[in-house]
Chains A and B, each alone.
Chain A
C-alpha cells in the first residue's frame, strides 16, 4: 500500500527524534554495552583496557550484596507499583461514586503528584525524623505508640517508609487514569451481568477490571520503569542505609561508577538492571494482553 514516497517520509518524520536519541542516549547505550565486557576504569591516565568477556557479569551475579540489592529493588518495585495500582483503582472507584465534595477531592488528590521527588524525599525525611518528626508525634498523641521510635533508621521499617513516600506521590497518576477509564465502561455491560445474578465484586472483576486494564497498562509500565531504576528518593532520604537496607540496584550502579570508579563493572550492573526491567515490562504487556482478551471473550 505504501508508496516509496511515503516510505521515505517515514524516515524524515523519524529523523529528528532519532538524531537526538542517537546522540544523547543510543550511542552512550551502545558504549555502555561494550564497556560492560571490559575492565575499564575511570582515570585521567592512559590505562590499558582489556576485553574480559563475561567476567563482570559473573562477578556481579555472584556478589551477594548485589543480589540483595536486586531483590530489594524488585521488592520496592513490586510493592510500590502494586500498592499504587490497588490504591489508584480503589480511589478511582470511590471518586466515580456521586457524593458531596467529590469535585474538590478530585482536584486535591492530584497535588501529591505535582510535588517534586526531591521535595517529597526531604519532606518525608522530616516527617520520619526520630525526634522532631510529625509521624512520631502524631502516633504518640493518638496513643498508638508509647515511645518515639526510629523509622528510616531501623532496617525493619526503612524500606517500607521509602515505599510509603513513593506511593503517596505516585498513586494519584494511577487513580486519574483509572478514573477516566472507569467513565468509559459501558453501563449496559454491567447491567446485563447484574441481571445474570453477578454480585458487585464479581462484576468488578469480570467486567470493569478487564475494561480498564489496557489504559492502566501504559501508566503501570511508566511507573515500573521509574521504580526499577529508583535513585533520587533513596539518595536523599536514606543514602542506602541503615545497614544497606535501602540500597537498590541503581544505587549500586552509582557506587561502581562514581565511588569505586569501575566503569566497566558499573556498566554490567546497569545492563543487568535494564535487562530485568525489560523482562518486567514484557511480562506486564503479555499479562495485560491476556487480561483484556479474556475480558472481551
Chain B
C-alpha cells in the first residue's frame, strides 16, 4: 500500500510525538544527573547544562565515599533479591502451571492464587514481620526473596498456565508413550517449547521484584539487605539540596532492568501473546 503525503506526515508526526513523550522525561533525568547544581535551580530552566559534571556518577560508583557504598550495596542486594525471587518463582510456578494446564487442577484454586495479590500488600507486612523475626530472619536478602516469591507466584503461574495451554499435547503424549516420567517430560519437552513464555514471565517478575518498596523499607535495616528503592527513598529524604544526585541514582537504578528489557524484548512479546490468545 502506498501512502499519500498527508498520511506520511501524519504518521511521522505521531511517531515523533510518541518519541518525545517517551524519551523526554528520561532525557531530562539524564541531563539533570550531569548538570551543575546551580543550573537546576534556574527559573526558567536552562535545558543545556552550562558544564557537564560526571562527578556524581564517579561518587556513586566508588566504594570510597559513603554514598557510593550505600548505592553499590543496594545495587547488589537488589540484583540478588530480584534475581533470586524470579528464579524461585519460576521454579515453583512451572510445575504448578503444568498441574493447572495438564492435570486438571481446579481453576478455583488458581483464582485463590490470584486473590492473594488483590489484597493491599500492607496487610501482610505485620504478620510476616513477626514471623520472620521469630525465625531471626529479618534484614536478610533471603527473607525478601521468600516474600517476593510469594508475591510473584500467582501471576507467574497464570501466565505460564496460559502458555502451556496452547502447546501441542501430542508431543508430551508421545514422550509418555515412550515411558518418560512427568518431571522428565516437563524438563525435556515442555520447557524448550515454552522458552519464550518463561523469558516473558521472568522479565515481568524481575521488574515487579526490582520495583518493590514497602516490604523492603520495613524488613531491612542496613547496607547488608537494603534494596535500591529503599536507598533511593533515603537519598531523596535526607539533606540533599542537589537534585542531580537523586537523578543520577535514578538513572543508575533504571539501567539493569532497561538492559534486560531491551535484550529480551522479542521474548516478552511472544511469551505474553502466545499464551494469552486463549486467555
Which residues does A use to contact B, with CB under 8 Å?
2, 6-7, 9-11, 13-14, 16-18, 20-21, 23-29, 31-32, 42, 91, 94, 97, 99, 101-102, 105-119, 122-124, 126-127, 131-132, 134, 136-137, 140-141, 148, 168, 172, 176-177, 179-181, 184, 214-219, 222, 225, 228-229, 231-232, 235-236, 249-250, 253-254, 257-258, 263, 266-267, 270-271, 273-274, 277-278, 281, 288-289, 292
Contact status A109-B22, CB under 8 Å: yes
Contact status B44-A97, CB under 8 Å: no
Most B Cβ at <10 Å: residue of A21, A225, A235 = A21
**Given A16-B96, A119-B249, A274-B119; 20 other pairs, CB 8 A cutoff:** A10-B103, A13-B105, A14-B109, A21-B150, A31-B127, A105-B15, A107-B262, A111-B26, A114-B257, A126-B246, A134-B28, A137-B45, A141-B44, A168-B25, A177-B269, A222-B204, A253-B123, A257-B123, A274-B118, A278-B118
Which residues of chain B are within 8 angstroms of A214 by Cβ–Cβ distance?
276-279
Contact status A14-B18, CB under 8 Å: no
Identify the 4 closest CB pairs spanning chains A and B, nearest first. Answer: A24-B150, A180-B269, A10-B103, A17-B96
Interface hits, B263-279 → A, CB 8 Å:
265, 268-270, 272-273, 275-279
With A111-B258, A116-B254, A218-B276: A257-B153 Cβ-Cβ less than 8 Å? no
- Min distance, Cβ B83 to any Cβ of chain A, angstroms: 15
Once the chains are docked, how many angstroms separate the CA of A119 from the CA of B228? Answer: 10
With A112-B26, A127-B28, A288-B279: A231-B116 Cβ-Cβ less than 8 Å? no
Once the chains are docked, how many angstroms separate the CA of A147 from the CA of B18? Answer: 27
Contact status A132-B115, CB under 8 Å: no
Once the chains are docked, how many angstroms separate the CA of A14 from the CA of B153? Answer: 12
Q: Which of B48-56, B59-67, B208-216 faces chain A?
A: B208-216
- Min distance, Cβ B156 to any Cβ of chain A, angstroms: 9
Contact status A253-B122, CB under 8 Å: yes
Once the chains are docked, how many angstroms separate the CA of A212 from the CA of B162? Answer: 15
Which residues of chain B are within 8 angstroms of A27 by Cβ–Cβ distance?
127
- Min distance, Cβ B106 to any Cβ of chain A, angstroms: 10
B157 (CB) vs chain A CBs: closest residue: A17
- Majority SS at the chain B contact face: helix
B100 (CB) vs chain A CBs: closest residue: A14
Contact status A281-B149, CB under 8 Å: no
Q: Which of B109, B122, B254 interacts with A114 by CB under 8 Å?
A: B254
Count chain B residues whose beta carbon lies closer than 8 angstroms to a beta carbon of A.
95
Which residues of chain B are within 8 angstroms of A25 by Cβ–Cβ distance?
116, 119, 124, 150-151
Once the chains are docked, how many angstroms separate the CA of A101 from the CA of B16? Answer: 10
With A17-B153, A42-B126, A214-B276: A116-B268 Cβ-Cβ less than 8 Å? no
Once the chains are docked, how many angstroms separate the CA of A31 from the CA of B127? Answer: 9
With A2-B104, A28-B124, A257-B122: A97-B11 Cβ-Cβ less than 8 Å? yes
Most A Cβ at <10 Å: residue of B14, B21, B22, B182 = B22
Which residues of chain A are within 8 angstroms of B120 by Cβ–Cβ distance?
229, 231, 249-250, 253-254, 270, 273-274
With A115-B254, A117-B229, A215-B273: A13-B103 Cβ-Cβ less than 8 Å? yes
Which residues does B use to contact A, with CB under 8 Å?
11-12, 14-15, 18-19, 21-23, 25-26, 28-29, 32, 40-45, 91-93, 95-96, 98-99, 103-105, 109, 112-128, 146-147, 149-151, 153-155, 157-159, 162, 182, 204, 207, 210-211, 213-214, 228-229, 232-233, 236, 243, 246-247, 249-250, 253-254, 257-258, 260-262, 265, 268-270, 272-273, 275-279
- Min distance, Cβ B216 to any Cβ of chain A, angstroms: 10
Which residues of chain B are within 8 angstroms of A218 by Cβ–Cβ distance?
158-159, 162, 272, 275-276, 279
- Min distance, Cβ B37 to any Cβ of chain A, angstroms: 11
Most B Cβ at <10 Å: residue of A24, A26, A232, A267 = A24
Which residues of chain A are within 8 angstroms of B121 by Cβ–Cβ distance?
229, 231
Contact status B15-A109, CB under 8 Å: no
Contact status B25-A29, CB under 8 Å: no
Which residues of chain B are within 8 angstroms of A21 by Cβ–Cβ distance?
113, 116, 150, 153-154
Q: Which of A18, A114, A118 interacts with B261 by CB under 8 Å?
A: A114
Contact status A217-B182, CB under 8 Å: no
Once the chains are docked, how many angstroms separate the CA of A88 from the CA of B276? Answer: 17
Which residues of chain A are within 8 angstroms of B214 by Cβ–Cβ distance?
231-232, 235
- Min distance, Cβ A203 to any Cβ of chain B, angstroms: 13
Contact status A126-B96, CB under 8 Å: no
